[in-house]
Homo-oligomer: A and B are copies of this chain.
Amino acid sequence: MTRHDSRPLTLRDVSEASGVSEMTVSRVLRNRGDVSENTRKKVLAAAKQLGYVPNKIAGALASQRVNLVAVIIPSMSNMVFPEVMTGISRALEGTDLQPVVGITDYLPEKEEKVLYEMLSWRPSGVIIAGLEHSDASRAMLRAAGIPVVEIMDVDGMPIDTMVGISHRVAGEKMAQAIVEAGYKRIGFLGTKMPLDHRARKRFEGFTQVMAKAGIEMADQEFYSGGSALAKGRELTEAMLNRTPDIDFLYYSNDMIGAGGLLYLLEKGVDVPAQIGLAGFNGVELLQGLPRQLATMDACRSEIGRKAAEIIAERTTNPESDLPKKIEMTPVISFGDTLKR
């Protein structure tokens, strides 16, 4: 017997079909409380037979519990955030929490909008990229009364908890390695992104160490949009034409670094003797390149995992007092493009 109206099924339908009270049906479907094996089977059979899918909207309203974790990140198109997501998903797999993603495109206003939208679903927690947010966003986050983990960056004050690396230190370390390798004429290539605070912090740490070593940036070049690999080529070519005595190129991400590397190899430049190169992120893609680009791992999946674990712990055990700051340590991999 099939239903002929298309009204979605409710618990009541299952209750009637199985001859068991709504309450007990609910218990069976959620594996809560003791139910006799007999009625359990009856209910499950009826539910399956009808094709019943519970209504979480109603359940969430009644129980005041929503097993969703809002994850708010700037972008999905570079390699970095997908990997963070992987870490989050994996960490949440054992729990009954589910990640829901919102994208901000590095725009504070959009972040605010997305945040508002997500918070209106009353999630169990928020994982959000970065430490820089509009006042309104901070207020919402604080008022939400749920665990908030800010990720990727630890150079600043968290609203609640932060998990990440110090991009300032990352920039410093790379600068250190480059100085020690003896490079002198250094060019910087990166995205034209006033709102990418982490790239900015790396750049600041980098130039500061350089300055201490008495080295001033020889040249810089910025881009926006387009295929990063192609842009890497273009930027590199442009810079070498303008400043031919460059002996090191520091890229703000691995993708443009890879483009630069391919370009230089084609030109027959001796890497790293004539020109050294380094990127940032440690993306998997690099492994297919003819030469390994020097880079620095940003601990992406590690950060995702840890952030999710914190939300999970706080959700099950709100009293547990966890550290407000968890800092990972990025490590340089020298590859074949940075002398040691």
**Interchain CB contact under 8 A, A122 and B8:** yes
Which residue of chain B has its CB nearest to the CB of A59? B120
**Interchain CB contact under 8 A, B266 and A288:** no
Answer whether residue A101 sits at the interface, using C-beta atoms and an 8 A cutoff.
Answer: yes
Answer whether residue A23 sits at the interface, using C-beta atoms and an 8 A cutoff.
Answer: no
Contacting residue for A61 out of B61, B117, B228, CB 8 A? B61
Contacts of A98 in B (CB 8 A): 117
Q: What is the bound-complex CA distance between A51 and B120, given in angstroms?
A: 12
Contacting residue for A232 out of B56, B82, B288, CB 8 A? B288
**Interchain CB contact under 8 A, A143 and B51:** yes
Answer whether residue A187 sits at the interface, using C-beta atoms and an 8 A cutoff.
Answer: no
Answer whether residue A20 sits at the interface, using C-beta atoms and an 8 A cutoff.
Answer: no
Q: What is the bound-complex CA distance between A101 and B89, given in angstroms?
A: 13
Answer whether residue A77 sits at the interface, using C-beta atoms and an 8 A cutoff.
Answer: yes
**Interchain CB contact under 8 A, B140 and A53:** yes
Answer whether residue A331 sits at the interface, using C-beta atoms and an 8 A cutoff.
Answer: no
Q: What is the bound-complex CA distance between A232 and B103, given in angstroms?
A: 31
Within the oligomer, what is the number of copies of this chain?
2
Answer whether residue A229 sits at the interface, using C-beta atoms and an 8 A cutoff.
Answer: yes
CB interface residues, A 62-100, toward B, < 8 Å? 66, 76-77, 82, 85-86, 89, 98, 100
Q: What is the bound-complex CA distance between A199 and B270, given in angstroms?
A: 40
Q: What is the bound-complex CA distance between A103 and B287, given in angstroms?
A: 26
Contacts of A6 in B (CB 8 A): 145
Contacts of A53 in B (CB 8 A): 116, 119-120, 140, 143-144
How many A residues, CB 8 Å from partner?
Answer: 53
The answer to whether residues A121 and B57 also contact, given A227-B284, A233-B288 and a CB cut-off of 8 A, is: yes
Taking the closest CB of chain B, its distance from the CB of A91, in whole angstroms, is 15
Q: What is the bound-complex CA distance between A173 and B144, given in angstroms?
A: 55
**Interchain CB contact under 8 A, B66 and A76:** no
**Interchain CB contact under 8 A, A57 and B66:** yes
**Interchain CB contact under 8 A, B89 and A82:** no
Q: What is the bound-complex CA distance between A106 and B119, given in angstroms?
A: 30
A residues with CB within 8 A of B: 6, 8-9, 51, 53-58, 60-61, 66, 76-77, 82, 85-86, 89, 98, 100-101, 103, 116-117, 119-122, 139-140, 143-145, 226-233, 258-259, 262, 266, 284-290
18 A-B pairs within 8 Å (CB atoms) are namely A51-B140, A53-B144, A56-B120, A56-B122, A57-B66, A58-B61, A76-B76, A76-B85, A77-B86, A82-B82, A98-B117, A101-B101, A227-B286, A229-B288, A231-B288, A262-B262, A262-B288, A262-B289
